[in-house]
């Protein structure tokens, strides 16, 4: 009744305010002027003045970034110093971000100028010529910083170094390394990567470009046999690239030996397109207009025999096909396994664009006020509204969880061995899809949480949506990648059962244990315990894997092929891939948490980990659909999310400050948004 009475009082108060407003006499009907009450204008106050910092943000940043902190900060400073990175003053601060008002052609040229600037200052030194985990981690650190400034710049570099350069490193042999890598690192050669076709994207095995071998000249002949075989979306091809890696079906003596990769020149040193090659522009895009995506046709283009990247297979001078791997399926798998580098870099960069948007939206919500809860009372900070906390803080917790998972993926990748290729392929597929979906969801929520200010290009979030949208489909469509994850898990299951051996690898060892038992009643302490969280995540994964295996087997028993049976079980496959990814992320989080001694940093990580777990439980209908939780326990989870939001509220500023992103790489609304929108700013 008290609540109802309070609600009626508020309605009455609002009605009185409106009545006074409507009945206020105008000057034309009364000689008595209305009384004007003084009003204090809004003033910006930095949130650091009122928010507390309960842990060392430098220590948290070290945990989040993981490595090369000084190198990252050096590169941040290098970019802020140059006018090429469009520094501008707003609200008493300097900000840097690309000028998206430039034309597509201007943006592309600015990308190349920025590359030249970074090249001259040694940023790319050793990216292809130095070996070892330390060199690779330094490269990753620089690449992540560059992506914080501009996704176009990062993609342009990624195509040149990770795709073109990576293909030569991994598909080529010493003769290719000696001839091409140093000139690639110094940009004497500008490379691109021609895999995708108009008619084939994720299905690399189905590409239609054909390469034959001419024994009379010792040359390969590359041809685009039809319009659907044109190479499409090739980053760097439209304007700048001089060479490309062409992925093509290799036909030897009338037999197709499958997809292979060939080094092919497409322009001379002066930028002129080579004979028998046609190049067209893919045109303007919703984002990434600093990258010159192009289309390529090959009209019987001849290249030397030595230009076949031959780490997996070769062709002799007299035209004999040579490979130690006789099985075409195994050969194709070995051929594509190095391509995981693209998925790894996309997964990593997605975390940083998520961090940018959260840092901006949360800082804004700590200084922007709206409405009051009592007549004539002060307006309330946006982040003090429980609904606003619910919008942003679970996304913040997920971002922390995925940061630790990204660091784990990076560590496995830089220390990779042939035995780890399967793990890297599956993890990079799952994490690339999970992280990029999370990135787009977070960008949209942060855009909305900033209201109209989120629409302004200078405030970055809206533009980041357009720039990063492509991540959901390039280097593998996310839905296809998640199906690959489930298919791999199913293969592991079938192999383990057939050999009657325990599960090993991919975190599936929990399948060897007895089935976890979930308590009938879930108290707050149980919900926050790592044991419960691991148990229920593992329960979901093992049950879904058992269900998928059972359903596929049942369909096969009815005469369907295993492939078709799997395709028709896609709903279970989607649920399983999500379960695998979220369980793996939770385990990565727990490993990072376990590395810390007891203290304030570990305490706040415990809150974040519990928030990640609770939101995952709340968002996935599988927990209710398959009976892992009752509706009562689902309600308890939802209630716990609200409690965690309240507890994390006081840490919000310190958590986004721990991202280590300099102020210049955020936006005006993250700081003094009143001053940056003042009349004086119009003339400055």
DSSP string, 428-473: HHHHHHHHHHHHHHHHHHHHHHTGGGGGSGGGSHHHHHHHHGGGGT
Supply the residues annotated as catalytic.
475
Torsion, Cα 164 424 472 482, to 10 degrees, reads 140
* The Cα angle at residue 106 between residues 102 and 107, in degrees rounded to 5: 75
Q: What is the DSSP letter of 88?
A: E
The residue with tokens 């000139």 is 183
Task: Please write down the HEC assignment for all residues of 637-648.
Answer: HHHHHHHHHHHH
3-state secondary structure of 94: strand
3-state secondary structure of 11: helix
- Structure-token pair, residue 281: 């522009």
* The Cα angle at residue 642 between residues 529 and 391, in degrees rounded to 5: 115
List, in sequence order, every residue forming a beta bridge with 314; answer none if it has no partner.
322
List, in sequence order, every residue forming a beta bridge with 315; answer none if it has no partner.
321
Rounded Cα distance between 85 and 674, Å, is 25
Q: What is the DSSP letter of 490?
A: H
328 to 181, 424, 484: CA distances (angstroms): 29, 22, 19
Rounded Cα distance between 653 and 648, Å, is 10
End-to-end CA distance of the chain: 56
Please list, residue by residue across 152-169, b when 16 or more beta carbons sit within 10 angstroms of its beta carbon and e when fewer do. Answer: bbbbbbbbbbbbbbbbbb
- Structure-token pair, residue 11: 């309605």
Is-contact 216 194, C-beta < 8 A?
no
Rounded Cα distance between 80 and 97, Å, is 10
Rounded Cα distance between 269 and 189, Å, is 8
Is-contact 645 389, C-beta < 8 A?
yes
Rounded Cα distance between 318 and 49, Å, is 77
Which residues, other chains included, contact 331 with Cβ-Cβ below 8 Å and sequence gap of 6+?
258, 312, 313, 323, 325
Which helix (H) or strand (E) segment holds residue 219: the answer is strand 219-223
Residue 101 backbone dihedrals phi, psi, to 5 degrees: -80, -10
Report the DSSP pairing between strands 87-90 and 93-96: antiparallel
- Structure-token pair, residue 638: 């939802």
Task: Please write down the HEC assignment for all residues of 231-261.
Answer: EEEEECCCCCCCEEEEEEEEEECCEEEEEEE
Query: Closest by alpha carbon to 411, among 396, 390, 427, 391?
Result: 427
Task: Please write down the HEC assignment for all residues of 557-610.
Answer: HCCCCHHHHHHCCHHHHHHHHHHHHHHHHHHHHHHHHHCCCCCHHHHHHHHHHH
Rounded Cα distance between 612 and 626, Å, is 21
């Amino acid at each position: 009744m008290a609540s109802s009475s309070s609600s009626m009082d508020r309605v009455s108060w609002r009605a009185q305010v409106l009545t006074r407003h409507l009945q206020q006499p105008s000057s034309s009907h009364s000689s008595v002027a209305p009384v004007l009450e003084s009003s204090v204008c809004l003033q910006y106050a930095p949130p650091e003045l009122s928010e507390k910092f309960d842990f060392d943000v430098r220590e948290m940043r070290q945990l989040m970034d993981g490595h090369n902190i000084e190198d990252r900060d050096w590169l941040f400073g290098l970019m802020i110093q140059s006018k090429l990175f469009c520094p501008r003053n707003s609200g008493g601060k300097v900000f840097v971000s690309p000028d998206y008002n430039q034309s597509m052609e201007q943006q592309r040229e600015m990308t190349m100028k920025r590359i030249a600037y970074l090249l001259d200052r040694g940023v790319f030194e050793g990216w292809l010529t130095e070996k070892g985990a330390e060199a690779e981690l330094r490269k990753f650190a620089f690449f992540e910083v560059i992506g914080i400034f501009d996704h176009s710049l990062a993609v342009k570099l990624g195509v040149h170094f990770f795709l073109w350069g990576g293909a030569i490193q991994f598909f080529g042999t010493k003769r290719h390394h000696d001839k091409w890598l140093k000139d690639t690192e110094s940009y004497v050669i500008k490379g691109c990567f021609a895999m995708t076709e108009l008619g084939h994207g994720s299905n690399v095995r189905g590409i239609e470009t054909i390469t034959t071998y001419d024994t009379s000249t010792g040359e390969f002949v590359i041809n685009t046999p039809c319009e659907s075989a044109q190479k499409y979306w090739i980053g760097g091809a439209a304007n700048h690239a001089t060479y490309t890696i062409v992925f093509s079906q290799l036909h030897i003596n009338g037999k197709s030996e499958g997809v292979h990769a060939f080094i092919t020149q497409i322009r001379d040193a002066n930028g002129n397109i080579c004979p028998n090659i046609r190049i067209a522009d893919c045109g303007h895009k919703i984002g990434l207009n600093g990258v010159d995506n192009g289309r390529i046709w090959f009209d019987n283009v001849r290249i030397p025999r030595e230009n076949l990247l031959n780490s997996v297979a070769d062709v002799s001078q007299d035209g004999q096909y040579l490979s130690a791997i006789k099985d075409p399926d195994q050969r194709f798998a070995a051929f594509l396994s190095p391509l995981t580098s693209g998925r790894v870099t996309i997964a990593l960069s997605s975390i940083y664009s998520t961090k940018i948007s959260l840092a901006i939206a949360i800082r804004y919500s700590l200084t922007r006020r709206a409405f009051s809860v009592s007549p004539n009372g002060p307006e309330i900070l946006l982040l003090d509204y429980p609904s606003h906390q619910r919008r942003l803080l679970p996304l913040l917790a997920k971002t922390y969880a995925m940061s630790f998972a990204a660091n784990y993926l990076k560590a496995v990748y830089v220390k990779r061995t042939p035995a780890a290729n399967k793990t890297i392929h599956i993890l990079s597929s799952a994490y690339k899809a999970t992280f990029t979906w999370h990135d787009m969801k977070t960008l949209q929520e942060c855009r909305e949480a900033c209201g109209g200010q989120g629409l302004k290009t200078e405030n970055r979030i809206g533009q980041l949506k357009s720039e990063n949208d492509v991540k959901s489909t390039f280097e593998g469509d996310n839905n296809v990648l998640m199906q690959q994850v489930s298919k791999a898990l199913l293969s592991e299951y079938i192999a383990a059962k057939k050999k009657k051996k325990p599960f090993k690898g991919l975190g599936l060892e929990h399948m060897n244990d007895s089935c976890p038992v979930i308590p009938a009643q879930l108290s707050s302490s149980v919900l926050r315990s790592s044991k419960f969280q691991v148990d229920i995540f593992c329960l979901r994964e093992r049950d879904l894997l058992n269900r998928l295996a059972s359903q596929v087997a049942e369909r096969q028993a009815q005469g369907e092929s295993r492939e078709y049976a799997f395709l028709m079980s896609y709903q279970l496959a989607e649920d399983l891939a999500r379960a695998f990814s979220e369980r793996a992320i939770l385990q990565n989080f727990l490993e990072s948490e376990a590395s810390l001694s007891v203290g304030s940093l570990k305490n706040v990580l415990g809150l974040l980990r519990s928030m990640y777990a609770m939101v995952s439980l709340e968002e996935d209908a599988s927990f209710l659909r398959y009976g892992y939780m009752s509706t009562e326990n689902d309600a308890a989870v939802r209630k716990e999310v609200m409690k965690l939001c309240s507890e994390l509220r006081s840490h919000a500023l310190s958590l986004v400050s721990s991202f280590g992103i300099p102020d210049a790489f955020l936006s005006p609304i993250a700081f003094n948004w009143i001053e940056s929108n003042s009349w004086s700013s119009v003339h400055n």
